[in-house]
């Protein structure tokens, strides 16, 4: 992009210093380039009108043409509202304003034709639209824009009269000036091959589409471009890593063979075998491994981690397995210790609560290389923890760790960067994984060990609580344990806390014969651990908790998961919670409790949970319901600041874009060929643009 697009927004006609400051603060628009990329979030189809008699509660927005038949201000003080009647030949509609009453009353005229836009709601058999957009019908021909853009603004901007229409006007001014400066950003080959419209035409038509066809082409072109550059960046990082980062070669596996032969108590599933092969190939390639291991809860990632650690040990290298909490570190340790002991391998554990004396011994054993494997928490990151030859880092539940924290681990081998395996049980849809972890290689365990009983999931209304409690009682009498989980959502923390406490008390009252634990986010880590341990050791029968128990905790004896106010949880979160049961030999149950009043999305979530146990299917539906921004682990990534793409809908384009990026990099890794100069230039301008202005100001 030329310098034109770096011009400060305040220089645009109609902006000025005050609006410029607002646009910066409210929408992050600092330059002409930023404004041009402020794409409409929807369009008004000005050719489509509804008749008043056709209105229907389920319509999101409608456009109605009619005549204003009267207006009156009703009520007093804060209850004051303006009510106006709009009529067409089929009926009458009420328009209501609760704000700006006096101002609007003056602005609208009786016996005048208006185009009204808004969401219709039914009340006592009549339709009304609150705070409609209103436009007088004029003789003048409508603009040549087929679809009219609607731009995001904020309440603050609106209070300064910067409405969608205002932005549209600014955009028109800008596009007129900008047109000659807009350069093609994709190679001629790509434009040809994917039949893309040019960059200039795309920008003009995304804001002011000449036709529905043109709009589609513009949207496709810009989506393709956005996803293409994300993939190109990720793939280049991967190439750089492959070329530049050497890795230790681990090709001896005597102990692994012995383990397979004499100590494995079960057969690996086919998925586990495939993943082990993929990992082994990485470890013998001479390049640094950077692999994401995805596997639903209970799919058996721990054994794969151990096998990988064993391969490292067989080649004289040390490995760490880092977990986000003490409880999880503990469980990993317990799980791996059996295996390590059987092979006579020294396995350590280092967490915040490891005693100073023990610590000293561990530090020494790690430095000398005597200890080949260690499991732990953040405590592993401390500078005093040094290795003789750290060759492998495994990180569990990665979204709990920041990038910096993790890189602290890698740096513990100054000679040669360790191999990295990141494990996550959050089933990320493939499209999202490709974008989020595009620079990692991905392995998936998509199969549960044989003989596992499917968790039975049911939805029950609150009014059936007594029966649900009876069911819990029966299960506990059979020797099992139960979880009862309450929501905890930050905005209403106080209320949720009260719900939890009320819940805890009612559970205590309902089960006087059982011992009950409680864990929530307001407790000190130590107390949490203590309570959790009591439940793990089967000293308590019921665990009342908030979502803090979500990740990774393993209590095979727990067979019932009751989720209160289940409608308030996201789908992936419900699935994660459900994964806390079904880990033992017994049949397990997940009971989703809700009131009667449920939104459409809540119903979809509950039905999905009842219907399927497949984490990937659930993740896909979750992505469709929520959009990717909310999915776990995506907040810190930054790659998801998408301007136009929607990963839930644009998966096919994403795949094309990735394939295109891959092909170009294979053919011309340094982007030196003439035909790739557009791409090369655009990458340079993108990286020049990544200065985060909002942070500077
Ligand atoms: P997760 O992927 O959730 O971390 P784990 O590694 O904790 O799952 O495995 C869950 C349980 O399944 C463990 O008790 C483990 O020993 C067992 N397991 C793992 N792989 C197999 C297998 N191939 N056959 C039978 N049991 C297995
Ligand atoms: Mg696990």
> What is the DSSP code string of 26-39?
HH---BHHHHHT--
- Tell me which of 413, 445, 477 is where a domain ends: 445
Torsion angle of alpha carbons 291, 295, 298, 300, nearest 10°? Answer: -40
What pTM was computed for the model? 0.67
Ligand 1 within 6 A of 427 CB?
no
Q: In angstroms, what is the span from residue 300 Cα to ligand 1's centroid?
A: 3
Q: Which atom of ligand 1 is nearest to the CA of 331?
A: 7
Ligand 1 within 6 A of 580 CB?
no
Q: Based on the structure, what is the number of domains in the chain? A: 5
Are the C-beta atoms of 560 and 472 separated by less than 8 Å? yes
Among 264, 269, 303, which residue has the most ligand 1 atoms within 8 Å of its CB, making it the best to mutate?
303
Ligand 1 within 6 A of 269 CB?
yes
260 in the same domain as 402: yes
Tokens of 464: 């059936």
* pLDDT tens for each residue of 559-568: 999 999 999 8
Ligand 1 within 6 A of 268 CB?
yes
Ligand 1 within 6 A of 299 CB?
yes
Are the C-beta atoms of 386 and 363 separated by less than 8 Å? yes
10 in the same domain as 114: no
What is the distance between the alpha carbons of residues 662 and 656, in angstroms, rounded to a whole number?
10
281 in the same domain as 156: no
26 in the same domain as 54: no
- Find the ligand nearest to 584 CA: 1
Instruction: With respect to residue 22, please indicate whether it lies within any of the assigned structural domains.
Output: yes
- Tell me which of 411, 445, 479 is where a domain ends: 445
Q: Identify any residues that bridge with 286 across adjacent strands, giving them in sequence order.
A: none
Ligand 1 atom 24, closest CA: 449
Ligand 1 atom 20, closest CA: 300
Among 394, 449, 578, 582, which residue has the most ligand 1 atoms within 8 Å of its CB, making it the best to mutate?
449
Residue 590's nearest CA partner among 468, 462, 430, 421 is 468
411 in the same domain as 538: no
pLDDT at 697: 26
Residue 210's nearest CA partner among 245, 244, 175 is 175
332 in the same domain as 408: yes
pLDDT at 327: 79
pLDDT at 73: 93
* pLDDT tens for each residue of 5-52: 999 999 999 998 999 999 999 999 999 999 999 999 888 776 778 899
3-state SS assignment for residue 433: helix
Q: Which atom of ligand 1 is nearest to the CA of 297?
A: 3
32 in the same domain as 161: yes
Instruction: With respect to residue 654, please indicate whether it lies within any of the assigned structural domains.
Output: no
Ligand 1 within 6 A of 300 CB?
yes
Which distant-in-sequence residues (6+ apart) come within 8 Å of 122 by Cβ? 57
Q: Note the Cα 581 to chain centre separation in Å.
A: 24
264 in the same domain as 128: no
Q: In angstroms, what is the span from residue 469 Cα to ligand 2's centroid?
A: 29
619 in the same domain as 470: yes
Q: In angstroms, what is the span from residue 304 Cα to ligand 1's centroid?
A: 9
Instruction: With respect to residue 643, please indicate whether it lies within any of the assigned structural domains.
Output: no
Instruction: With respect to residue 357, please indicate whether it lies within any of the assigned structural domains.
Output: yes
Q: Phi/psi of residue 450, each to 5°? A: -60, 155
Instruction: With respect to residue 398, please indicate whether it lies within any of the assigned structural domains.
Output: yes
Ligand 1 atom 19, closest CA: 300
234 in the same domain as 158: no
pLDDT at 282: 95
- Tell me which of 396, 414, 445 is where a domain ends: 445
Domain of residue 330 covers: 254-445
Tokens of 597: 């009043």
Ligand 1 within 6 A of 295 CB?
yes
259 in the same domain as 238: no
pLDDT at 17: 92
CATH code of the domain containing 531: 3.40.50.300
CATH code of the domain containing 18: 1.10.150
Instruction: With respect to residue 642, please indicate whether it lies within any of the assigned structural domains.
Output: no
36 in the same domain as 1: yes
CATH code of the domain containing 60: 2.40.50.140
Q: Average pLDDT of each block of 10 consecutive residues along the chain (697 residues)?
A: 84 92 92 94 78 82 90 88 95 91 90 89 86 79 64 85 90 94 94 95 94 90 95 84 85 95 92 97 93 86 96 97 86 90 95 94 96 95 95 81 70 91 79 72 87 90 94 96 83 69 92 93 82 91 82 81 92 88 88 92 94 86 70 44 80 90 92 93 75 33
């Amino acid at each position: 992009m030329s310098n034109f697009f770096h011009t400060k927004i305040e220089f645009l006609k109609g902006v000025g210093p005050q609006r410029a400051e607002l646009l910066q603060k409210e929408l992050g628009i600092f330059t002409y380039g930023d404004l041009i990329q402020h794409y409409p979030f929807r369009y008004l189809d000005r050719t489509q009108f509804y008749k008043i008699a056709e209105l229907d509660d389920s319509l999101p927005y409608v456009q109605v043409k009619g005549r204003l038949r009267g207006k009156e201000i009703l009520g007093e003080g804060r209850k004051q509202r303006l009510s106006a009647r709009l009529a067409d030949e089929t009926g009458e509609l009420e328009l209501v304003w609760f704000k700006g009453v006096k101002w609007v009353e003056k602005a609208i005229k009786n016996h005048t034709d208006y185009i009204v836009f808004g969401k219709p709601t039914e009340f006592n058999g009549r339709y009304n639209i609150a705070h409609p957009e209103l436009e007088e019908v004029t003789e003048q021909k409508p603009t040549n824009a087929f679809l009219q853009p609607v731009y995001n603004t904020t309440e603050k901007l609106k209070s300064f009269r910067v409405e969608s229409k205002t932005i549209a006007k600014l955009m028109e001014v800008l596009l007129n000036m900008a047109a000659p400066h807009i350069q093609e950003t994709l190679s001629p080959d790509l434009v040809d091959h994917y039949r893309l419209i040019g960059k200039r035409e795309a920008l003009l038509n995304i804001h002011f589409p000449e036709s529905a066809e043109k709009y589609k082409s513009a949207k496709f072109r810009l989506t393709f471009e956005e996803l293409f550059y994300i993939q190109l960046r990720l793939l280049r990082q991967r190439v750089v890593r492959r070329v530049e980062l050497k890795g230790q070669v681990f090709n001896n596996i005597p102990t692994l063979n012995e383990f397979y032969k004499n100590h494995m108590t079960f057969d690996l599933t086919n998925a586990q075998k495939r993943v082990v092969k993929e990992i082994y190939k990485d470890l013998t390639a001479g390049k640094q491994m950077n692999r994401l291991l995805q596997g639903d809860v209970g799919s058996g990632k721990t054994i794969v981690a151990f096998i990988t650690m064993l391969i490292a040990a067989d080649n004289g290298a040390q490995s760490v397995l880092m977990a986000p909490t003490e409880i999880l570190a503990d469980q990993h340790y317990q799980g791996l210790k059996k295996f390590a002991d059987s092979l006579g391998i020294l396995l350590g554990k280092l967490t915040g609560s490891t005693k100073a004396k023990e610590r000293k011994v561990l530090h020494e054993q790690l430095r000398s290389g005597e200890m080949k494997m260690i499991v732990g928490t953040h405590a592993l990151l401390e500078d005093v923890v040094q290795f003789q030859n750290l060759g492998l880092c495994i990180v569990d539940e990665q979204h709990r760790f920041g990038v910096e924290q993790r890189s602290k681990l890698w740096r513990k081998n100054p000679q040669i960067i360790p191999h990295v395996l990141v494990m996550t049980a959050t089933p990320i849809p493939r499209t999202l994984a490709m974008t989020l972890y595009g620079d990692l290689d991905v392995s998936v365990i998509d199969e549960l060990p044989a003989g596992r009983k499917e968790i039975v999931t049911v939805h029950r209304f609150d009014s059936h609580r007594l029966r649900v409690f009876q069911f819990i009682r029966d299960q506990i009498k059979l020797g099992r344990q139960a979880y009862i989980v309450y929501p905890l959502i930050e905005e209403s923390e106080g209320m949720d806390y009260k719900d939890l406490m009320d819940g805890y008390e009612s559970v205590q009252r309902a089960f006087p014969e059982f011992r009950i634990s409680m864990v929530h986010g307001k407790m000190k880590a130590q107390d949490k651990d203590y309570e959790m341990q009591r439940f793990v050791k089967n000293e308590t029968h019921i665990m009342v908790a908030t979502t803090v128990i979500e990740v990774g905790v393993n209590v095979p004896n727990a067979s019932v998961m009751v989720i209160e106010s289940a409608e308030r949880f996201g789908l992936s979160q419900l699935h994660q919670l459900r994964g806390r049961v079904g880990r033992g030999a017994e049949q397990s149950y997940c009971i989703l409790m809700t009131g009667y009043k449920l939104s459409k999305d809540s119903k979809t979530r509950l039905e999905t949970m009842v219907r399927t146990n497949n984490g990937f299917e659930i993740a896909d539906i979750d992505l469709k319901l929520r959009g990717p921004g909310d999915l776990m682990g995506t907040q810190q990534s930054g790659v998801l600041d998408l301007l136009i793409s929607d990963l839930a809908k644009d998966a096919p384009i994403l795949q094309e874009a990735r394939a295109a990026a891959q092909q170009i990099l294979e053919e011309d890794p340094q982007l030196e060929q003439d035909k790739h100069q557009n791409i090369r230039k655009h990458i340079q301008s993108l990286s020049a643009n990544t200065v985060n202005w909002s942070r500077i100001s």
